[in-house]
Amino acid sequence: MKQTQLIMGMPITIEVAERNTDAARHLDDTFTYFRAIDARYSTYKQSSEISKINNGLPIDQWSDEMKTVLALCEKTREETGGYFDIRHDNKRDPSGLVKGWAIRRAANRLLRRKVKNFYIEAGGDIQTYGFNENGEPWKIGIRNPFNMSEIIKILAVRSEGVATSGTYIRGDHIYDPLHPGKTIQRVKSLTVIGPNVYEADRFATAAFAMDIAGVSFIQSKPGLEGYMITDDGIATYTSGFERYVVNA
């Protein structure tokens, strides 16, 4: 069973690839969870907790979950030498971490319900588990940033997370926080494979902000693999990336 809903300003697709009479209920529960995440973390909703914090909500009124997420953001900032930074114009925007974090938590909810074979995608960030309906590893396509209708690599994954940062869909929405006003000049897309989508997503965001140095940063992180395409159409990838590729 497969469904797509528009939540958090993006299409979210969930597929349960097993015979399960509760599949519809599992999907409903997961979409409800994502709506709750949107209600708490959307910077576009004045009623959200993050908007209230940005408007001066005292720290003693912050939820424990929010404190945890903001602490994870700070940890990621430190781990990336400042290239991941949620503070912009004296406001906090944790969306660069929350999406992957929420997908991973949604996946864990399904696992606790004994769902073993599924796929969750939110805005291009993906968490897989088990096998697809054909009993094969899940296949994930990497699009050509110069031609969105073309898939240039196909990845086979079972329990990994895959996240892609790029300008070819949303335009310039990731900036170098260490050099205010500077946009990413060379990199068109950067795909990261990690042990889960949380790790892949947060480091993909930071690595993209590093411009062409980003793929070397991914290479330096144990458990991560990356595939970068620059504005001249050249692809550079980490040493272990090809083991995931099925159409090399």
The residue length of the chain stands at: 248
Structure tokens at 71: 């602490």
- pLDDT of res. 21: 73
State residue 171's pLDDT score.
46
Residue with structure tokens 């409903």?
28
Rounded CA-CA distance 64/68 in Å is 6
The identity of residue 229, as a single letter, is: I
d(CA 101, CA 92): 16
- Structural domains in the chain, sorted by start: 2-244 (3.10.520.10)
Cα–Cα separations (whole angstroms), residue 187 to 162, 213, 220, 245: 18, 10, 18, 21
DSSP code for 87: E
Stretch (H or E) spanning 200:
helix 197-209
What is the chain's alpha carbon radius of gyration, rounded to the nearest angstrom?
Answer: 18
What span, in angstroms and rounded, lies between the C-alpha atoms of 50 and 43? 6
**Cα separation of 97 and 100, whole Å?**
6
Mean pLDDT per 10-residue interval, the chain, length 248 residues: 95 91 91 98 97 98 98 98 92 96 98 95 95 94 93 95 78 52 75 98 94 96 97 96 87
